[in-house]
Amino acid sequence: MSQLPESQHTTATQIVKWYESKPQEHRPHMGASMIGHSCERYIWLSWRWVLKPEFKGRMLRLFGTGQREEPRFLEELKGIGAEVWDVDPATGNQWRVSAFNGHFAGSLDGVAKGVPEAPKTPCVVELKTHNEKSFNELVKKKVQAAKPQHYDQMQIYMGLMDLERALYLACNKNTDDVYSEWVHFDHDRFSVLMSRAQRLIESAEPPLRISTDANHFECKWCSMWKHCHGGQAAEANCRTCCFATPVENAEWHCAKLKLPLTTAMQREACDHHLLLPALVPFGEVQDGGDDWVAYSLKDSGEMFVNGPHNIKEFGPLFSSKELHMTNGSLMQLAIQTKNEFPVSKVLSGTTHPYADLSTAFDDIATHPDDIPVKPDKREDKIKKEKIRTSVKNLEALK
């Protein structure tokens, strides 16, 4: 017997939706908690804001659960007689480490001294919550083998804080069992991780995918799957633009406007946005100028252009935002649509590229009778129907 769909009006559903309604933003810096990730490409794509995280409400609530456990752990450490500094006495703010002009950074849960493992030794404190399975594995294998990303995070904190030890405290969310481990500084691992961060920050292109298999076990659950395997181009923000460079003081600079870029400006981008070609997974670069790139579709060879000017000989113009909205599998139809229904604004080269496709599609969608038509042959009807479907799909992607 088929089940009735879950009601959208229960309190539980509304709570989950409330979490989902909060904006999920990109993080400004490359995080120390991320640097041990098994896929370097993921670290780079996240730092360059290629796709916004789309966590489900349940996951967002779960992150909050982990954060709520931190004050309790710190209180317990004080309760057993340790000295605990949950904020940096020099600033009154959370302990923070950074490197490479501030583009690589992390926040510590605390610093402590007087813990039973070595009462005279100051240490980094790292606090984590685990589900039953993960906790049992941690107890069995210890943190370096069971949670290498947490281990690497602590190595960065110890190296940048000039401390030799870290206390890893974890709790089992199912049973409230507590696990503690005394972790030693590993200089070699610290150096490897720092070199990795520097290399990724200085690279203008993403590392290769860890697998070309869309069902690879790491890729299958990855939030960058749509970009790496699903044919979606990057979002249009300054981090994905050819003109942006990371500079001093954790800032970014725009070579086009010759301006420093605040985080708010980076999120917005401007009309000159030009996608880094490596972030257009369905396109093969064919030519380019100061502010445009011409591509051919990898699958079928049709030409299109990204940029604010219309370079007519290379096919229709797409703004970066349009390329992001148009999945690679729809690009062939989108190109046909632009070729079949040219809009004067597009042909004259508007200064506002984001207006192009939406205006074109508005015209088609709201005034179909305006399109001059002769009675269509059957194959033409099918072709136009396909194009209209692609328009609807594109609209739905907005």
Q: Which is nearer to ligand SF4, 236 or 360 (CB)?
A: 236
Q: Which is nearer to ligand SF4, 45 or 158 (CB)?
A: 45
Q: Which is nearer to ligand SF4, 225 or 354 (CB)?
A: 225
Q: Which is nearer to ligand SF4, 172 or 237 (CB)?
A: 237
> Least distance from C-beta 350 to ligand SF4, angstroms?
16
Q: Which is nearer to ligand SF4, 210 or 297 (CB)?
A: 210
Q: Which is nearer to ligand SF4, 59 or 161 (CB)?
A: 59
Tokens representing 326? 């148009």
Q: Which is nearer to ligand SF4, 60 or 270 (CB)?
A: 270
Q: Which is nearer to ligand SF4, 45 or 346 (CB)?
A: 45
Residue listed under structure tokens 């219309």: 310
Query: Residue 104 is inside which H or E element, if any?
Result: strand 104-107
> 225 Cβ partners below 8 Å, 6+ apart?
214, 219
> Least distance from C-beta 45 to ligand SF4, angstroms?
6
Residue listed under structure tokens 């088929």: 2
C-alpha separations of 213 from 41, 216, 219, 220, 277 in Å: 15, 5, 8, 9, 22
Query: Residue 57 is inside which H or E element, if any?
Result: helix 57-79
Question: Rounded to an integer, what distance in angstroms lies between the CA atom of residue 111 and that of residue 123?
Answer: 6
Give CB contacts under 8 A, 24+ apart, made by 343-350.
346/310, 346/316, 346/317, 347/310, 347/312, 348/310, 349/308, 349/309, 349/310, 349/317
Residue listed under structure tokens 């070699």: 188
Q: Which is nearer to ligand SF4, 145 or 259 (CB)?
A: 259
> Least distance from C-beta 320 to ligand SF4, angstroms?
8
> Least distance from C-beta 277 to ligand SF4, angstroms?
14
Q: What is the DSSP secondary structure assignment for residue 25, as one 8-state letter?
A: -
> Least distance from C-beta 40 to ligand SF4, angstroms?
8
> Least distance from C-beta 105 to ligand SF4, angstroms?
21
Tokens representing 86? 């949950």
Tokens representing 371? 């399109």
> Least distance from C-beta 368 to ligand SF4, angstroms?
35
Q: What is the DSSP secondary structure assignment for residue 209, as one 8-state letter?
A: P
> 359 Cβ partners below 8 Å, 6+ apart?
343, 345
Residue 21 region, left (φ>0) first, then alpha (ψ -120 to 50), else beta? alpha
Contact 114, 107 (CB under 8 A): no
Tokens representing 257? 């406007």
Q: What string of DSSP letters covers 156-189?
A: HHHHHHT-SEEEEEEEETTT--EEEEEEE--HHH
Angle between helix 355-366 and helix 328-340 axes, rounded to 10 deg: 70
> Least distance from C-beta 373 to ligand SF4, angstroms?
39
> Least distance from C-beta 9 to ligand SF4, angstroms?
36
> Least distance from C-beta 175 to ligand SF4, angstroms?
32
Q: Which is nearer to ligand SF4, 219 or 334 (CB)?
A: 219
Instruction: Give residues in contact with ligand SF4 (CB under 6 A).
Output: 39, 41-42, 45, 209-210, 218-219, 222, 224-225, 228, 238, 241, 243-244, 254, 256-257, 261, 269-270, 272-273
Strand segments (E) across 123-262: 123-130, 165-172, 178-184, 244-246, 252-254, 259-261
Tell me phi and psi for residue 155, to 5 degrees.
-60, -40
